[in-house]
A and B are shown apart, each in its own frame.
Chain A
C-alpha cells in the first residue's frame, strides 16, 4: 500500500511569489491535514480537510489556503511568499474510522523562499 505522497519534494521561490503543494493520501483515507515544520516553531497545524470540506484550521494568515478534491487529493497554496515561509510542509492522512484511526505523514515538501 503506497504511503502519503507529496510533490514537489524541493522548491525555491522568490519573495512575493505564490506556491502550490500537492498531496495524495493513502488509498481509502479521506482526511488530509497540513503542517508546517520550522526549526524555531516546530510542527504547527495548518488545516484539515475531509470530503472536500475544511473541518479545522490553525492560526496562520489567510495567505495560507488549501482545498481537497473528490478523490481526496489535496493542495495547499501560499500566496505572497515571505522569507519566514521557508519550511518543511507536511501532509498527513487518516482513515477517519473512529477513535482508533491513526495519522500518517508524507515525506514533505521543502520550500525555500529567497
Chain B
C-alpha cells in the first residue's frame, strides 16, 4: 500500500462546477499538507499549504485537512478551463523534514 493514495481520475467537469479532490494517507507523522498544480510538461506549482487539521481558503480554492481520518481535500469553486491540469497532494512530517510524499495526481479537465 502506498503512503499517500490519490485517485488519478481523470475527472471532467463543466465550467463553473465545483471540483473536489482528495487524498488519504497512512503515516500519522505527517503534519504539513500541500496541493500542487502541474500543467503538462511544467513543474508543480504550489497552490495551498496547510499545517495540521483545519480549513484554509484562498480565492476559489479551499483546502481541508482531517488528521483524525488521515484525509485531505481540495475544492475549486467556479472552475475555469484554465484550471485543467494535474493536481498533486503532498505531505511531510516535522518542520525539519523536507522530504515530500506525493499522491499519484488527479488529472482534471474543465470543459468550456
Chain A residues at the B interface, C-beta cutoff of 8 Å: 4, 6, 31, 33, 35, 42-45, 48, 50, 55-56, 58, 90, 92, 94, 96, 98-108, 110
A56 to B100, CA, bound (A): 11
Interface centre among B51, B97, B98 (most CB of A within 10 A): B98
In the assembled complex, the CB of B12 is this many whole angstroms from the nearest CB of chain A, namely 20
Query: With contacts A33-B100, A42-B102 known, what are 15 further pairs, Cβ within 8 A?
Result: A42-B105, A43-B88, A45-B99, A56-B97, A58-B99, A90-B44, A99-B51, A99-B95, A102-B34, A102-B46, A103-B34, A103-B98, A103-B100, A105-B43, A108-B42
Q: A100-B51, A105-B36 are in contact. Are A56 and B98 (CB under 8 A)?
A: yes
Interface centre among A31, A33, A101, A103 (most CB of B within 10 A): A103
Contact B104 A42 (CB under 8 A): yes
Please count how many residues in chain B sit with their CB below 8 Å of the partner chain's CB atoms: 25
Residue B32 is within 8 A (CB to CB) of chain A in the complex: yes
Residue B66 is within 8 A (CB to CB) of chain A in the complex: no
Residue B73 is within 8 A (CB to CB) of chain A in the complex: no
Residue B78 is within 8 A (CB to CB) of chain A in the complex: no
Interface string of B47-89 (1 = CB under 8 A from A): 0010100000000000000000000000000000000000010
**B34 — which chain A residues lie within 8 A by C-beta?**
102-103
From A6, A31, A42, contact of B98 by CB (8 A) = A31
In the assembled complex, the CB of B51 is this many whole angstroms from the nearest CB of chain A, namely 7
